[in-house]
Structure 1
Amino acid sequence: MRILLATTSGAGHFGPLLPFGSAFRALGHDVRVAAPRSFSAAVVRAGYPYLPCDDVPPDELAAAYEGAESKSTEEQNLMAAGVFAGLAPRAILPGMLAAFADWRPDLLVREFAELGSFIAAEAHDVPQIQVLVGLRRFHDTTKPVVDAHLGPLAAANGVSVDRLWSLPNASLVPTSFDDPGVDVIHRFRDDVAPLARSEEDTPLVYVSFGTVSAAIPFAREAFLASVRALADLPVRLLVTIGDDGDPADWAWAPDNVRVEKWVPHREALRGASAQVCHGGMGSVLGALTAGVPAVVVPQFADHPDNGERLVATGTGLRVGTSGMGESVDPDALRAAVRQVLDDPSFRVAARRLADEIAALPSAGGALDLV
């Protein structure tokens, strides 16, 4: 079977598709990825054939997000929903229609925010599964914005936007970490299991702000402030700075701080006693899958919400509220890291989540949804 994965241009959106792509390939299916051209290198690096789509013009994107730093987290999320449901599908749709016409996939598996492929699949009568990239609240609360922005484009292509809300939903987020509610989400796990743990006497704290720290000035500043705040604790720090980072810029770091451009997530968490991150769902789920508690320093989008769920489940703490230029309180961050290291209840709760994740069905089982 030919299966098309479709994503917007963000590692946090593409990441949730990868376990499904790997599982489908292991079952013998032909899997390709359609995405904006700006994301083509990431697709190729992940080992998938790439089908091109256009990006949103930078000036239009900048105008859509103008003033975002002064908005609340909820308002920022609605602004983003407008971009994902309006500007992005208009730019992406021609490439998606070409992909369906030329390659003729039998199934579409798309991350929830990529909506151009939704229209293309409906227009070509191809079944589809949407993979949620975070908590269920973003699926539930963005419907009015998505309908308003996507509806006219869908209708112009003979598609009803109402179909979007009746598609099967898949997620890697376990039920107990997700928002409470009637569970109409089919939950799966990555087939790649976490590595066996290997700990030393001095605790290891893994610090990473994912792909955002090197790309966004305020996130980069928060990342640097977080490492400086933790460097004098009696711990070992493993700090990953991304492909665009320069280890030479970290010459100030003491001997207990190891700086790398990139370390495989599973390897980094193998010996970690705690993780400090920005709160992206990929980073949070990586920690929980490994049974490692996390401390979130939120930067934007769903980061504060994911931190809130860490607190609610007893699997971690959140330092700060909304990000977007909010300065890091070094004393609060040090206290939070000490707390998750010293209080065993965080590790117990994280390992309970890890067991729940391990018991989920393989991502390959998503094929049973269509």
Structure 2
Amino acid sequence: MRLLLTSQPTSSHLVTGLVPLAQVARALGHEVAVATAGSMAAELALHSVDCLALPGVADQQAMRTDPELTVRYGLPTEMMRPGKRTVYAANWRKFSLAYAGPIALELARAVLALDWQPDVIVSEPTEHGGRLVASVLGIAHVTLDNNPLIALERQVTEPMLRQQLVELGHHGELDAPRRAGVLPERCYPAELADTASGYYRVPGPLLNQPRLRPELLDLAEDRPLVLLSLGSLALTLCGMGEQLLEPILQGLGELSCEVILTLGGLSGQIMGPVPANVHVTDYLPQAALLAACDLFITHAGFNAFREGLTAGVPMVALPSFADQPVNADQIVALGVGERLDIDSFTAADLSNACTRVLTDPGPRRNARAIQRELLTLPGFEQLVCDLEALPVPRMLSACQSGDLRP
């Protein structure tokens, strides 16, 4: 099988789901490549995954800073709500339309121009060009679902994708959506339960991950260990760092815990004193470290949400944008933690929420139950087998234990 994976040129979209799938598929003897912007080639090489660098496909830095691309794609020109720690709600509808519109069209054209004919295409949820390509070529397409917000936006994205299909000169049907979930079904919003194609377990932590700093081994062993990470994007938005870090540091300082605060290369944004129990680092092996933690304070991006559940760790969520509020609601609904309002939370709110989750056995018990449930899901080896069993052209029949279906 020739398996083509397509992704937006962003590590968080690519490395945590598609890279493990590529590695598993290649180990099973299949030919695999990732089609994305050339800016991701070096990172993919670290994981020994072939990159089909697409000419003319913009990288994320260009999309965020080039005003011509902002106009061409219809991206929002203002992100943050004045005086708030959240973005304009309407912005994410604009992003959905841009991803399903001109951005998808550019990638689809670049892929169709390649001398590389796939048998199956798998995309991460924000990359829709792969589905357009599959529709033109008459082959199967599956979305590896690590962003449930995208599936919830289908009433907006489906008409836009049909328009792009016409732009490609194809007047047939748009390939029917199929999802491969990476958590148990109940961890996704209930609205997606009837449309999911199957559920699989992501392999363990990747190789070539950052090392834990040796000095972090000297933390007090008689106190709970808390990990706080706000992801790769939130602190880069205008004003977010200074607005968030002050109450966060104050709240963490009130805890009788050892706290590791990872800032993704942005530790220079800390302007004031750091409490003695807070240990700041830029990068760390998050998925592996979570297994040693008692609490995870998270922005509730889907990858962080999944890693917390995989480790069986209760969470306190500080969601800001995109799918984060959806995932934070799931944290509460599943009984594995609490959600705070990022616009209004105070240092006391944060410390009190952490104390409640740490002292109540319920969130830990519920997180461990989901951790065990995850272990019952078939692995990516089964996902690869199910992908190989998808018939060509697009008519599907039920597959075996992975249950990938239309």
TM-score interval w.r.t. the shorter chain?
Answer: 0.7 to 0.9
RMSD, aligned α-carbons: 2.7
1:84-233 equivalent positions in 2, closer than 5 A:
84-99=99-114, 102-135=115-148, 138-139=150-151, 141-159=152-170, 162-164=173-175, 166-180=176-190, 181-182=193-194, 184-192=196-204, 200-221=221-242, 223-225=244-246, 226-233=248-255
Is the deviation greater in 52-61 or in 148-157?
A: 52-61
1:63-102 equivalent positions in 2, closer than 5 A:
64-70=75-81, 75-99=90-114, 102=115
Alignment deviations for residues 80-131 of structure 1 (CA, whole Å, 9 cap, x no partner): 21111113113322322233xx122232111122111222233233322221
1:241 Cα deviation from its structure 2 partner:
1.5
Partner in structure 2 of residue 31 of structure 1: 32
Alignment deviations for residues 24-48 of structure 1 (CA, whole Å, 9 cap, x no partner): 1231223221112344444334432
Cα separation, partners in 2 of 1:38 and 1:193, compared to 1, 3 Å? closer
Partner in structure 2 of residue 350 of structure 1: 367
1:251 Cα deviation from its structure 2 partner:
8.0
Distance 2:186 2:158 in 1: 29
Conserved? CA contact 1:170–1:187, under 8 Å = yes
1:215 Cα deviation from its structure 2 partner:
2.5
Partner in structure 2 of residue 285 of structure 1: 306
Three-state SS of the structure 2 residue aligned to 1:31 is strand
Is the deviation greater in 209-218 or in 358-367?
A: 209-218
Is the deviation greater in 68-77 or in 50-59?
A: 68-77
Cα separation, partners in 2 of 1:279 and 1:296, compared to 1, 3 Å? same
Three-state SS of the structure 2 residue aligned to 1:300 is coil
Distance 1:327 1:66 in 2: 25
Is the deviation greater in 298-307 or in 41-50?
A: 41-50
Conserved? CA contact 1:288–1:350, under 8 Å = yes
Pick one of 260, 268, 276 that aligns with 1:238: 260
Partner in structure 1 of residue 2 of structure 2: 2
**Matched residue count:** 357
Cα separation, partners in 2 of 1:337 and 1:328, compared to 1, 3 Å? same
Distance 1:179 1:208 in 2: 23
Gaps of 5+ in 2: 207-216, 391-406
Distance 2:287 2:196 in 1: 30
Q: TM-score, normalised by structure 1?
A: 0.87
Cα separation, partners in 2 of 1:8 and 1:241, compared to 1, 3 Å? same
Conserved? CA contact 1:209–1:223, under 8 Å = no
**Identical counterparts, % of pairs:** 25
Three-state SS of the structure 2 residue aligned to 1:298 is coil
Partner in structure 2 of residue 315 of structure 1: 336
Three-state SS of the structure 1 residue aligned to 2:198 is strand
Three-state SS of the structure 1 residue aligned to 2:327 is helix
Amino acid at match of 2:5: L
Distance 1:231 1:6 in 2: 43
Distance 1:83 1:162 in 2: 21
Distance 1:32 1:300 in 2: 31
Alignment deviations for residues 114-168 of structure 1 (CA, whole Å, 9 cap, x no partner): 1112222332333222212223x641x322321332222212324468534x243
Alignment deviations for residues 36-67 of structure 1 (CA, whole Å, 9 cap, x no partner): 23444443344322112311753233752134
Cα separation, partners in 2 of 1:117 and 1:173, compared to 1, 3 Å? same
Amino acid at match of 1:81: S
Distance 1:213 1:72 in 2: 10
Amino acid at match of 1:13: H
Conserved? CA contact 1:250–1:259, under 8 Å = no
Alignment deviations for residues 318-362 of structure 1 (CA, whole Å, 9 cap, x no partner): 100xx5xx3542211111111110101000000011111111001
Conserved? CA contact 1:280–1:302, under 8 Å = yes
1:193 Cα deviation from its structure 2 partner:
7.1
